[in-house]
Amino acid sequence: MASGYNAVLLTLVVAGAWALPGCSAINPLCGSSRPVPVLTSISPTTVTEADVLGTFILNIKGSNFVSSSVVVINKAQIASDVTSATTIKASVGPATLKSAGIYNVWVNTPAGNSGDLGCDSGGSSSQTTLTVE
């Protein structure tokens, strides 16, 4: 009788774990998932076309940055250096910013390898704009 009870309990625990959304301490199967990045600011927010002729550093502030996080400008991934969970430095140059205008900037973190466990992993931050005058 005890073995049947344990099997039912185990089934309920496993089924409950599969149904848990998101990644948290409540869902231990999400150990390898990555958090969604949060973008709070960029610096500078405005550059001149002369600045873009060379390469300049775009500083990104936010949270949940991991080593695989990258800065994206108008759908182009930029060489990025994640210096901490709250800071990224990106090298931006004329190959990305070709003329004056307003460019969308965000941070993307690719999904981890927890794929089929019902865990959220990676994603894109909100967007902000970089202006080239």
Mean pLDDT by 10 residues, the chain (133 residues): 49 44 51 82 96 93 93 95 97 92 95 56 91 96
Phi/psi of residue 101, nearest 5 degrees? 155, -175
> What is d(CA 97, CA 117) in angstroms, rounded to the nearest whole number?
39
pLDDT for residue 121? 72
C-alpha to C-alpha distance for 121 and 133, rounded to whole angstroms: 37
CB 68 within 8 Å of CB 35: no
Q: What pLDDT was estimated at residue 85?
A: 94
Q: Give this prediction's pTM.
A: 0.72
Contact 88, 71 (CB under 8 A): yes
Domain 32-132: which CATH number of 3.40.50.1980, 2.40.30.270, 2.60.40.10, 2.60.40.3500:
2.60.40.10
- What residue segments make up the domains of the chain, in order of their start? 32-132
